[in-house]
């Protein structure tokens, strides 16, 4: 049994409510009258055994245009925006079909946690969220469906991309050695990019055409054209409708193929086209900032004895047994020996109940409170948590510099993060290339 708490907070990267309307809002608005008098939605594209509806395209077009206006962005022509949106929705439809085939489902509990987080980020309760969305012109039920879809796509990408990226100990050590010499160790970069994609087995003509387009866009960006507008109108990346924004990244979290180029740019500068497996990238460094982290933590060394209730022993009986064990320890019997023979925590009983050195935030709250309040070597009174009844002894406290452990963990996380964007683009390109798509408009 593990007494360390599980992570329950679902982190959802969402903007303020005013920007949330960009999410899919398939409103079932009618666009065409058939001969039989029924009002039907028109199909914009057939995607395998599914469709993208004109209403979805129109809703996205309206939402994107509203967002661009609010950001004072120059508006690309509707035809260009529509083409980008149709392609974006095609890829999303392909992803959702893969999620359906894989049986991936978002529970109501997970969805409600995400909705609660959105509300909290905007300083309101979950109960107030429907009204807040209504003032933005967003239907609450439609928004829940959009959120569920977004979470499903995140889960799919986590399963099919992120979890398949492996990081070896040698890669971690190489990373740490490079980081020690690299000026980007304590720096973060706000980056935007444009991708001109090429097929996996592109012909010479296709490569030359993509290179020419990338060179042209680079020249236009370097001469002062708005980078976000160029990205919206031309990029094949999933960030196109966001103006190509990748957001803030640590230098070590930058996509591997872009990292060296970004580190060589000054804020406001644009890179020449970079050849990569997915195509040609053009990068703009928007801003740069430095960060520092304190890696000294408070740790506690704890051991405990656990007993649980069952059909024959109720709470009062189990509590009394632990009180008797506590008296025996206070009278001189060995804590570790009693833990080995009495504790029902199979994970720590063999070690005399020892949970080792750790930080108290790794324990469930009821357990952590007793540990935080206890004096060193004191044997606690029996107390209850979700796992059963415990007595606990704090063997020591210390300030611990866990820099090396933290650096190794962060190195693995950042190596993985640096590969996610490129691997995701390759994965999406494969899904798109393998899909049957019939454009109807």
Does one domain contain both 132 and 201? Answer: no
Does one domain contain both 48 and 144? Answer: yes
Among 127, 160, 193, give the residue marking a domain's end: 160
In a domain, residue 115? The reply is yes
Does one domain contain both 429 and 380? Answer: no
In a domain, residue 10? The reply is no
pLDDT, tens digit (0-9, with 9 covering 90-100), for 152-176? 999 999 889 888 888 898 988 887 7
| One-character DSSP codes across 212-244 | HHHHHHHHHHHTT--HHHHHHHH--STTGGGTT
Does one domain contain both 41 and 131? Answer: yes
- Residues sharing a CB contact under 8 Å with residue 154, sequence separation 6 or more, in sequence order: 12
Whole-angstrom Cα Rg for the chain: 28
Does one domain contain both 228 and 265? Answer: yes
This prediction has a pTM of: 0.52
Tell me how far apart the alpha carbons of residues 111 and 369 are, in angstroms, rounded to a whole number: 30
C-alpha separations of 243 from 8, 240, 408, 439 in Å: 32, 5, 34, 25
In this structure, what CATH number is given to the domain that contains residue 391? 3.10.50.40
Q: What's the distance, CA 11 to chain centroid?
A: 6
The separation between the first and the last C-alpha atoms of the chain, rounded to the nearest angstrom, is 58
Does one domain contain both 356 and 424? Answer: no
420, 162 Cβ separation under 8 angstroms: yes
Tell me how far apart the alpha carbons of residues 326 and 321 are, in angstroms, rounded to a whole number: 9
How many domains, in total, are found in the chain? Answer: 3
- The 8-class DSSP code of residue 431 comes to H
Does one domain contain both 198 and 308? Answer: no
SS3 label, residue 2: coil
In a domain, residue 441? The reply is no
Does one domain contain both 282 and 315? Answer: no
Does one domain contain both 201 and 323? Answer: no
- Residues sharing a CB contact under 8 Å with residue 227, sequence separation 6 or more, in sequence order: 192, 194, 221, 243, 244, 270, 284
What pLDDT does residue 185 have? Answer: 57
Q: What's the CA angle centered on 255, arms 240 and 147, to 5 degrees?
A: 50
Does one domain contain both 21 and 155? Answer: yes
Does one domain contain both 319 and 381? Answer: yes
What pLDDT does residue 163 have? Answer: 84
Residues of the chain with pLDDT under 50: 1-37, 39, 183
What pLDDT does residue 186 have? Answer: 66
pLDDT, tens digit (0-9, with 9 covering 90-100), for 279-308? 999 999 999 887 655 567 888 999 999 999
433, 427 Cβ separation under 8 angstroms: no
- According to DSSP, the residues that pair with 53 across neighbouring strands are 43
What pLDDT does residue 167 have? Answer: 87
In this structure, what CATH number is given to the domain that contains residue 71? 1.10.4030.10
Structural domain harbouring 429: 183-293+419-435
What pLDDT does residue 216 have? Answer: 94
Does one domain contain both 48 and 122? Answer: yes
What pLDDT does residue 411 have? Answer: 81
Q: What's the CA angle centered on 226, arms 221 and 227, to 5 degrees?
A: 60
What pLDDT does residue 270 have? Answer: 94
C-alpha separations of 359 from 7, 297, 400, 411 in Å: 15, 7, 10, 21
In a domain, residue 265? The reply is yes
């Amino acid at each position: 049994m593990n007494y360390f708490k599980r992570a329950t907070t679902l982190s959802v990267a969402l903007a303020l409510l005013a920007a949330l309307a960009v999410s899919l809002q398939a409103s079932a608005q009618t666009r065409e009258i058939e001969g039989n008098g029924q009002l039907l939605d028109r199909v914009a594209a057939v995607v395998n055994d599914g469709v993208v509806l004109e209403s979805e395209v129109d809703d996205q077009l309206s939402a994107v245009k509203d967002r661009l206006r609010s950001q004072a962005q120059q508006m690309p022509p509707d035809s260009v925006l529509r083409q980008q949106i149709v392609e974006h929705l095609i890829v999303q439809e392909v992803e959702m079909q893969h999620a359906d085939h894989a049986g991936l489902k978002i529970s109501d509990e997970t969805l409600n946690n995400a909705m609660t987080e959105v509300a909290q980020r905007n300083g309101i309760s979950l109960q107030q969220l429907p009204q807040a969305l209504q003032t933005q012109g967003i239907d609450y039920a439609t928004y829940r469906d959009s959120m569920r879809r977004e979470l499903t796509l995140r889960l799919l990408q986590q399963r099919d991309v992120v979890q398949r990226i492996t990081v070896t100990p040698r890669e971690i050590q190489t990373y740490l050695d490079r980081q020690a010499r690299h000026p980007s160790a304590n720096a973060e970069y706000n980056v935007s990019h444009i991708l001109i994609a090429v097929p996996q087995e592109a012909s010479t003509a296709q490569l030359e055409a993509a290179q020419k387009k990338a060179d042209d866009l680079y020249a236009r960006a370097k001469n002062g054209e708005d980078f976000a507008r160029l990205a919206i109108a031309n990029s094949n990346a999933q960030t196109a409708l966001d103006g190509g924004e990748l957001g803030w990244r640590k230098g070590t979290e930058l996509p591997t193929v872009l990292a060296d180029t970004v580190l060589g740019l000054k804020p406001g500068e644009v890179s020449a086209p970079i050849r990569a497996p997915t195509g040609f990238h053009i990068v703009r460094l928007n801003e740069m900032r430095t960060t520092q982290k304190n890696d000294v933590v408070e740790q506690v060394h704890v051991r405990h004895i656990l007993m649980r209730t069952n059909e024959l022993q109720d709470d009062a009986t189990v509590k009394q047994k632990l009180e008797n064990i506590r008296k025996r320890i206070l009278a001189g019997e060995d804590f570790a020996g009693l833990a080995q023979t009495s504790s029902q925590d199979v994970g720590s009983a063999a070690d005399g109940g020892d949970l080792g050195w750790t930080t108290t935030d790794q324990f469930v709250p009821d357990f952590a409170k007793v540990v935080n309040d206890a004096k060193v070597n004191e044997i606690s009174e029996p107390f209850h948590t979700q796992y059963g009844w415990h007595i606990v002894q704090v063997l020591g406290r210390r300030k611990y510099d866990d820099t090396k452990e933290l650096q190794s963990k962060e190195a693995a996380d950042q190596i993985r993060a640096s590969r996610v964007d490129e691997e995701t683009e390759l994965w999406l390109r494969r899904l798109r290339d393998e899909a049957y798509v019939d454009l109807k408009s």
